[in-house]
Amino acid sequence: MSTSRLRHIAPLFSVSTKDGAGNNAVSSSATAATSNDYEDDLARYRVPPPEIRDIVDAPLVPALSFSPYRDKIIFLKRQSLPPLTELARPEEKLAGLRIDGHCNTTNRMSFYTGLGIHQILPDGTLGPEVEIHGLPEGAKIHFITWSPDARHLSFSIRVNEEDDNTSKLKVWIVDVETGKARPLFQSPDVYLNAAFDSYIWVDNSTLLVCTIPSTRGAPPKKPLVPDGPKIQSNEQKNIIQARTFQDLLKDKYDEDLFDYYATSQLVLASLDGTTKDFGPPAVYTSIDPSPDKKYVMISSIHRPYSFIVPCGRFPTKVQLWNADGKFVRELCDLPLAEDIPITADSVRKGMRSINWRADMPSTLYWVETQDGGDAKVEVSPRDIIYSQPAEPLEGEQPMILHKLNLRYGGILWCDDSLAFVYESWYKTRRIRTWVVSPGYEDVPPRILFDRSSEDVYSDPGSPMLRRIQTGTYIIAKVKKRGDDGSYILLNGSGATPEGNVPFLDLFDINTGIKERIWESDKAKYFETVVALMSDQEEGDLQLDKLKILTSKESKTENTQYNFVSWPDKKIVQVTNFPHPYPQLASLQKEMIRYQRKDGVQLTATLYLPPGYNPSTDGPLPCFVWSYPGEFKSKDAASQVRGSPNEFTEIGSMISHLWLAKWFAILAEPTIPIIGEGEQEANDSYVEQLVASAEAAVEEVIRRGVAHPKKIAVGGHSYGAFMTANLLAHAPHLFSCGIARSGAYNRTLTPFGFQNEDRTLWEATNTYVEMSPFMSANKIKKPILLIHGEEDNNSGTLTMQSERFFDALKGHGALCRLVILPFESHIYSARESIMHLLWETGRWLHKYCVSNTSDAGEDHDTVTVKEITDHHDVLH
C-alpha cells in the first residue's frame, strides 16, 4: 500500500467522554488510541470516530405525502436516531405486543418532528411552505392522514414523557389552507388508544377514534402470591406446533393487564366538537369503513386467550355497524387458533381476509380454506373466494367469486368487468394471476400470468392503481385516442442480466399486447414509477394526459422526485434534497458477477473508497456483509437482482460505513441455498454456504482489491447465523467475523425456522449440522457477538448469543459478547448504534486490519489457489 494511503488505516474507534453539560463528546486524542485502549472493557458507551459518526448523524430526508387530489404535498420531517431514554421507557410484554403503558401505544413507534405543506403549482413546481402553528413545543407526531376532501389533516401527538397524562396521545387537526392546528376533542381528558388501530375518517368532517375508556382506573396490580401454579394441559392429545414466539401471556395477571391496555372505547368525533360513543368498550383490533362510508367493519378479539400463541390468533369477532353507531350484523366469530400447522401456506380455518370491494359502495368479500388450513392436505379447490352485500336480502347466500387450487394471495379490483386474483404456492414458488369479471357470471375466469415467483426476469409488473372519489384504490384503466382497446398500466422492476431497468407498459388486457411507454435511463440512472398523479377525474385515464411521479437516483446522486407528463413526457423536478454524506459522494460502486463451483452464477455489489486505485494503492481490508436466501432452481438463483445505478443509502448499522475508513465492502453477495425438485435446500446448507463464500472471496482477491489475510465477514439475524457457520466451516476464508442478533442453536427452534418447515424430529441431522452452536469447538477465528437485550424476533432470543458465547468460551475461542440494553431485534437508540459501531471498528481494526489474532495456524488466510484446493477436499 502506498504511503499516501497509510493515514486511512488509523484506529477505528474513539473514547466517549462527557462534556460540561453531561453530553457525549469525543476527546481530542481519541483517534490516537493506544493498544491499551483496545483492551479497555469498561462497561460504558463509546462512540466511533468522526468520519463514521458524521455519516450516522446526517439529517434524514423527509418523507412525502400527497393530498387525495394531488394538489398538495407534505414534507414529513424525521429525527435521525432517538436517545436511549426513549427505549428505556417501561413496557409491558403482552400477547406478542410491547405496550408503552404511559402512552398506551405499541412501544418504540417512530415519529415525525414537523410538517411542511406545499401547494403544487400548475407548472409542477412547489409553492411556499404553509407553516403549521399551534402545536405544543417538542410534539412527536404519529398517524398522519388526510381527510377525504383534503381540507384537513389528522394526526396524534405526544409531548412531555415524564408526565403520565401528557405523554398519552391526543388527536389533533390541521386546517390545510391556514396551517392552524388544534385538538380534535374539546375535553383535555380524551386520549388515543393506539395499542392496535388508531382512527379513521368516516366522512369529510367526522372521525371514528379508538380512545382510552373514560371509566378506566389504575392498572391491575400483580399479586404478591399467585392463586396457584401455572398449568398448561394437552390431555386431549391435540397436535399443536408453534414457532418460537416471544412476549406471550404467562398467567391471569397478564391477561388482565392485556385487557386493561388493549380495551378501547370507539368514539365518533366531529370537527365541530360533538362526540358520541360508538358501541361498547372492547379489544378492537381494526376499524374499516365501507367505500361509501355507510358502514364500518370492526374486528375485535376476546377471551379465552392463549399462553402459546400471540394475539393475532386469539378468538376474533368481525361485525358490521352503520356509520351512526348501530349494530348491523356479525360476520364471524373465529375460535382460538393454536393449531395452525407450521407448514408454509397453512392458514387459519374459517373466514379470513375479510375486506370491502374497493370498486363498490359496500360489498364484502372474503376467503375460506377448503383444506382445513393445512397445506399438507391435498384438495381441490384449496381456497374459495366469496362475496356478499353488507346487508344481504333475507335468504341471500354469499356468491362464489372464484375457486383456487393454490393459496389465495389477494385481489386488485377495477369494476364489474375486471379484477385480478392472485394465488401462489411456496413449495413450488408458483404464482398465478387470474382475470375475473365479478359482475358477469357467464364470463369464465382466465389465467393471465402463470410463472415462478423466483423468476424475476419474467415478472410482467403490477397494475398501477388510481384513487377514486370514495378514497379507495382500483386498477387504472387507460384509453388511447382513436383506439377502442382496454388498457391498463403495468409497473415493473425490469430485472435483466445487467440489473434492474424499471418500466411502465401499456398493456391490452384482452390481447396481451404490451407497449413500453416509459423506461428508466439505464445508462446512468435508476428511476422508478412511484404513483399516478392524473387520477383526479372520474372515468378512464387518457394516455395523452397521463402524469406520474418518478424517483431518480444514480451511484453518486441521492434520490429526487420528478413529475413526468404526457404526451411529451415533460419532466419537472419536485425535490432537491442535499446529498446526505458528501464525503462519500464519489465512492466507487460496481455490480460484479462470478460463478460458484457448481455453475451457479452469483452477484454482489463491490464498493471501494473515493479515490482508491488498486494498481497504486494495493489490496484493502475487506468487509463482506450478506444474508442467505433459498431457491428452488439454479437458474432463478443465478438471476441478477438490483441495479448498479442505485444510490447507496448508508444506514446507521450498514457495513458501507467502513468505506470512510478505507475498506473495500462486498455487499450482499448472493448466498443461494438451492433445493431443486423434491430436494430440501437446507440438507446441503453448509456445503452451498461455503461454496458461495469461497467464490466471493476468490473474486475480490482476483480483482486485487482485497488483502487475502484481511477479509472479515458479518451479518444480522440469519446473516449472523451465516457468519458463525462460515467461521466454523470455512476458517480459511476470513480473518474474523461479526454476528448480530442471530440464532445459533436450531434445537431451540424445534418447530421450524426461517423457511424450514420440517420439525427437529423430522430433520434432526439438518438441524444439528446447520447449528454453529454444535460446531463451537471448530471456531478458531475471532468472533464478535452483538445482541439486543430485549430481542422480540421469533427464534432469535438473546439467550441464543449468550449460550453460544458460553460454548465458544468453553472451547477457548477468541470471542466477545456485547448485549445492548433495551434494544430489540433491530437497534435504534443513538447510544446503542454508536457503541455498536465502536465495537465493530475495534474488532475490524484489531482482527482484520492489524490481524493480531493468535487464533492458531488457521489464521493464515490463504490464496485463490488454496481456496480452490480446499473446495476440492470439502466436496
Cβ(107)–Cβ(99) under 8 Å?
Answer: yes
Q: Long-range contacts: 677-683, Cβ < 8 Å, 24+?
A: 680/758, 680/763, 680/766, 681/630, 681/631, 681/755, 682/630, 682/756, 682/763, 682/766, 682/770, 683/763, 683/766
**Residue in 321, 271, 270 with CA at minimum distance from that of residue 293:** 321
Cβ(219)–Cβ(100) under 8 Å?
Answer: no
- What's phi and psi for 107, nearest 5 deg? -75, 160
Cell of 698: 476468490
Q: What is the gyration radius of the CA atoms in the chain, in angstroms?
A: 29
Active-site position among 825, 835, 845, 871: 825
Respond yes or no: is residue 741 known to be catalytic: no
Strands 363-369 and 383-389 turn out to be antiparallel
Length of the chain (residues): 875
CA distance 872 to 746: 28
CA distance 841 to 847: 10
Cβ(13)–Cβ(48) under 8 Å?
Answer: yes
CA distance 110 to 163: 20
Which residue carries 374459517 as its cell?
Answer: 350
Strands, E assignment, 651-748: 664-667, 672-674, 706-716, 736-740
| Angle of the 685-702 helix axis to the 864-874 helix axis, nearest 10 | 170
Sign of the Cα torsion 793, 799, 800, 805 reads: positive
CA distance 572 to 19: 47
Cell of 329: 350484523
Active-site position among 102, 247, 791, 832: 791
Question: How many C-beta atoms lie closer than 10 Å to residue 399's C-beta?
Answer: 15
Q: What is the DSSP letter of 62?
A: P
Question: How many C-beta atoms lie closer than 10 Å to residue 96's C-beta?
Answer: 18
CA distance 185 to 269: 7
Instruction: Kindly give, in sequence order, each residue whose CB lies less than 8 Å from that of residue 215, ignoring residues fewer than 6 positions away.
Output: none
Cβ(399)–Cβ(384) under 8 Å?
Answer: no
Respond yes or no: is residue 791 known to be catalytic: yes
- Residue 691 half-sphere exposure, CB side, CA atoms within 13 Å? 20
Cβ(624)–Cβ(669) under 8 Å?
Answer: yes
Cα angle 669-674-678, degrees, rounded to a multiple of 5: 170
**Residue 680 burial (10 A CB sphere; 0-12, 13-18, 19+):** middle
Task: Please list the helix, strand and coil fractions of the chain in percent, rounded to the nearest 5, in that order.
Answer: 20, 35, 50
| Angle of the 718-729 helix axis to the 685-702 helix axis, nearest 10 | 80
Respond yes or no: is residue 459 known to be catalytic: no
Cell of 411: 385481489
My answer on whether omega of the bond before 580 falls inside 30° of 0, hence cis, is no
Residues with catalytic roles: 717, 791, 825
